[in-house]
Amino acid sequence: MSVIKDAANLNTRMREVVPLVHNITNYVTVNDCANALLAIGASPIMADDIREASDITAISSALVINIGTLNQRTVESMIASGRTANQLGIPVVFDPVGAGASAFRNETVERILQEVKISILRGNLSEVSYVAGLSAAAKGVDVSEEDAANDPVDAACQAARRLGCTVGVTGAVDIVTDGNRVAKIHNGHPLMAKVTGTGCMTSAITAGYAGMQEDMWTAATAGILSMGLAGEIAYGRVAHMGTGSFRTGIIDGLSSLNETLMEEMAKVEEM
């Protein structure tokens, strides 16, 4: 069965299983992540205090660690929740927002990689390149020009092998690899870069898919594909209005997705 078919099946299953996804994430896009998870059929929970982070992880089906607005208080919660997830076999999706942009982010990334076994790393080319030790320079939270010259398939595959996990690099073409299998996703739309949080939402819904079954490569492909399709649906419907409507349209798109639509719209090459 193709990864498209698997992903489409998981989309249906999400609305039956309603996996609980624990998010330790940034305060910029947290509302979008919650609504994206609800739209795709999962149930979001946000909790970042060290006194409860592990308890919440323990009742969840998946954990997202997103360092978008990193602070010293929540780093400890990320580590504690990550360890709990590892002990209980709960998948961990890591979104290294802005990795490379400050020493604090870089030290935190290193610490998370040392103390937590990541299931899926999801970022843009700069972030993934940085995390895997392949990067030059990052400019804020966007892809730097230097890193843009890297081949994303190469970078993703190297990252997957170095880190021993599934890696999803989102960009003009999205790459998902576990070091062996590679999916190239030709969905999505460039306008998505003009809405904050499309990357964070992608990581969140990827965790929803990861929370339902064992295959992280399929989960990451399903998550990134779902977001791309939601972007296309939104683009077709409301992009002419502007980026505010487009943002709303992306959530609408996620809630409109279903198995049939995914199979029809998906443009995924398996390599």
Out of 3, 8, 11, 48, the residue judged to bind a second copy by CB under 8 A: 48
Query: Using the rule CB under 8 A, is 29 a contact of a second copy?
Result: yes
**CA distance to 93, 185, 215, 250, per residue, from 96 (Å):** 10, 21, 21, 22
Our CB check for a second copy shows the closer of 60 and 203 to be 60
Q: What is the signed CA dihedral for 31, 36, 41, 46, rounded to 10 degrees?
A: -30
Contact segment (CB under 8 A) with a second copy among 39-47, 112-120, 168-176, 212-220 equals: 39-47
Collapse the DSSP code of 144 into the 3-class scheme (helix H, G, I; strand E, B; otherwise coil) and give the result: coil
Helix (H) / strand (E) containing 53? helix 53-58
| Contact mark string toward a second copy, 120..139, x via CB under 8 A | -------------------x
Our CB check for a second copy shows the closer of 105 and 184 to be 105
> For residues 54-83, which are near a second copy according to CB under 8 A?
55-56, 59-60, 68-73
Out of 12, 13, 17, 46, the residue judged to bind a second copy by CB under 8 A: 46
- Let me know if 103 is exposed, middle or buried by CB neighbors in 10 A (0-12, 13-18, 19+): exposed
Sheet holding 62-66, edge to edge: 43-46, 20-24, 62-66, 92-95, 120-123, 166-169, 174-177, 182-185, 268-270
> Could you tell me the smallest distance in angstroms from the CB atom of residue 267 to a second copy?
22
**What are the backbone angles phi and psi of residue 257, rounded to the nearest 5°?**
-60, 145
Our CB check for a second copy shows the closer of 48 and 178 to be 48
> Could you tell me the smallest distance in angstroms from the CB atom of residue 236 to a second copy?
13
Our CB check for a second copy shows the closer of 5 and 194 to be 194
Contact segment (CB under 8 A) with a second copy among 101-109, 116-124, 155-163, 177-185 equals: 101-109
Beta bridge partners of 142: 139
* Nearest residue to 209 (alpha-carbon basis) of 226, 197, 196: 226
* Nearest residue to 204 (alpha-carbon basis) of 43, 87, 13, 47: 43
Out of 3, 10, 14, 32, the residue judged to bind a second copy by CB under 8 A: 32
> For residues 143-182, which are near a second copy according to CB under 8 A?
none
Beta bridge partners of 62: 21
Query: What does the alpha-carbon distance between residue 31 and residue 126 come to, in Å, rounded to a whole number?
Result: 25
Our CB check for a second copy shows the closer of 104 and 270 to be 104
Query: Using the rule CB under 8 A, is 34 a contact of a second copy?
Result: yes
Interface with a second copy by CB under 8 A: which residues?
20, 26-32, 34-35, 38-39, 43-49, 51-52, 55-56, 59-60, 68-73, 98, 101-105, 139-142, 193-197, 237, 241-245, 247-256
